Amino acid sequence: MIQSDELSDDLIKSSKKVAVVDDEPDILELVVINLKKAGYVTNGFENGNKLLKYLKNNKPDLVILDLMLPDIDGNEICKYMKQKKEYSQIPIIMLTAKSEETDKVLGLELGADDYITKPFSIREFLARVKAVIRRGEPLVESDVVKLGDDFFMDIQKFEVIVKNEKVNLTTTEFKILQLLTSRKGWVFTREQILNHIDLSNKGVLDRTVDVHIKNLRDKLGPAGKYIKNIRGVGYKIED
């Protein structure tokens, strides 16, 4: 049974749109109702095809995606969304009964921003929804970062250019890159990186950071060389 904790009165109301996919009617209803109570504009779907049809004309601020769906595997939907330019920056929270580390790592490698296992507390669930959406909010400060002759990052525009080509990053990947570039040559621990992306103290594995860094390096291509691993400590970025 899912633990239905009493919702906090201080949850920040929002006009953010959330799409939820789960083939279990009771869980889908519970999640949708509580998201709406928290102020989110919420749409629920019982299979993957209905979500994909919805995405053609809508861009939610977050997708909550069950893995074990009757028509399309949730990991395949995640992979598809992250490969599509129009969907790649939509945050995804995996929601599943699978709790093995390998399942979590696979989801993160495919680009998921967080991973929640069933059963879960509604209070924690809403807190993590809020944290993931907050990561995707536009940054107000204007800043430009350059590395070598091939890397350009505009913080305000949420844009990364490598060799004159725009790189599509997830919000989590962008936040990590923003942190690393905020102090060139400074070594950030995995804990500091998890704090920056609002995943500390949630039982998240240090391996999560390594997965995101690997994805970053892969997407940055030749500019991935600027991200350095300091064994036993963490990561830094430098020319």
DSSP 93-105: EEEES---HHHHH
- HSE-up (13 A, CA, CB side) for residue 171: 23
Contact between 179 and 167 (Cβ < 8 Å): no
Q: Amino acid letter at 89?
A: Q
- Whose tokens are 């879960």? That residue is 120
Is the domain spanning 17-135 CATH 3.40.50.2300? The answer is yes
Q: What is the pTM of this model?
A: 0.61
Every domain of the chain and the residues it spans: 17-135, 144-237
201-219 per-position pLDDT tens digit: 555 566 788 999 999 999 9
Phi, psi for residue 46 in degrees, rounded to 5 = -95, 0
**Each residue's pLDDT tens digit in the chain (239 positions)?**
444 333 333 344 457 899 999 999 999 999 999 999 999 999 999 999 999 999 999 999 999 999 889 999 999 999 999 888 889 889 999 988 766 666 677 777 788 888 888 888 999 899 889 888 877 665 444 478 889 889 999 888 889 999 999 999 988 899 999 999 888 888 888 888 888 887 655 555 667 889 999 999 999 999 999 999 988 788 999 87
Fold classification of 144-237 (topology level): Arc Repressor Mutant, subunit A (1.10.10)
Q: Is the peptide bond before 119 cis (omega within 30 degrees of 0)?
A: yes
Picking from 14, 9, 129, 117, the residue whose alpha carbon sits closest to that of residue 64 is 129
